[in-house]
């Protein structure tokens, strides 16, 4: 079955530690996205990529980094510079056209130890 797989489902970060969230899709979508979700804030765009080896900052990119070395993979690293990383992180993919939906993974919940 085609879809988006995020791992792990739960992740804990220690102070000063970088952590990487995995996102893999087998839908052959060109575009991939990372969103952060906090209670009452909706989904805020962190980074997006429309093509392999290229990505763009979203509205809240500070303290995060990404790579897009393969079409199916778009990992997100939460660096130690992100001082408030506790949130629900959602990865999505799509055809990057206005008339096509985005498909979301099941999310990773990141907490501070």
Partner 1 sequence: QQPVQSPQAVILREGEDAVINCSSSKALYSVHWYRQKHGEAPVFLMILLKGGEQKGHEKISASFNEKKQQSSLYLTASQLSYSGTYFCGTDKGNTPLVFGKGTRLSVIA
Under 8 Å CB-to-CB from 83, ≥6 apart: which residues?
A: 63
13 makes contact with partner 1 (CB under 8 A): no
Please provide the DSSP assignment of 28-53 as one string. --SEEEEEEEETTTEEEEEEEEEETT
107 makes contact with partner 1 (CB under 8 A): yes
Supply the DSSP symbol for 9: S
Count of C-beta atoms within a 10 Å radius of residue 83 = 9
Query: Which stretch, 11-19, 64-72, 78-86, 94-102, contacts partner 1 (CB under 8 A)?
Result: 94-102
By CB under 8 A, the residues from 23 to 82 that bind partner 1 are: 33, 35, 40-45, 48, 58-59
Structure tokens belonging to residue 51: 């093509």
Q: Could you say which of 90, 93, 108, 110 contacts partner 1 (CB under 8 A)?
A: 90
Least Cβ distance, residue 7 to partner 1 (angstroms): 14
Q: Which residues bind partner 1 (CB under 8 A)?
A: 33, 35, 40-45, 48, 58-59, 88, 90, 98-107, 109
């Amino acid at each position: 079955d085609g879809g988006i797989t995020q791992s792990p489902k739960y992740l804990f970060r220690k102070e000063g530690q970088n952590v990487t969230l995995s996102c893999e899709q087998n839908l052959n979508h060109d575009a991939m996205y990372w969103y952060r979700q906090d209670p009452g804030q909706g989904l805020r765009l962190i980074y997006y990529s429309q093509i392999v080896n290229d990505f763009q900052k979203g509205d809240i990119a500070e303290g995060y980094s990404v790579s897009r070395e393969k079409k199916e993979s778009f990992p997100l690293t939460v660096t130690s510079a992100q001082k408030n990383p506790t949130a629900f992180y959602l990865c999505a993919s799509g055809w990057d056209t206005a008339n096509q939906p985005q498909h979301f993974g099941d999310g990773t919940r990141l907490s501070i130890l």
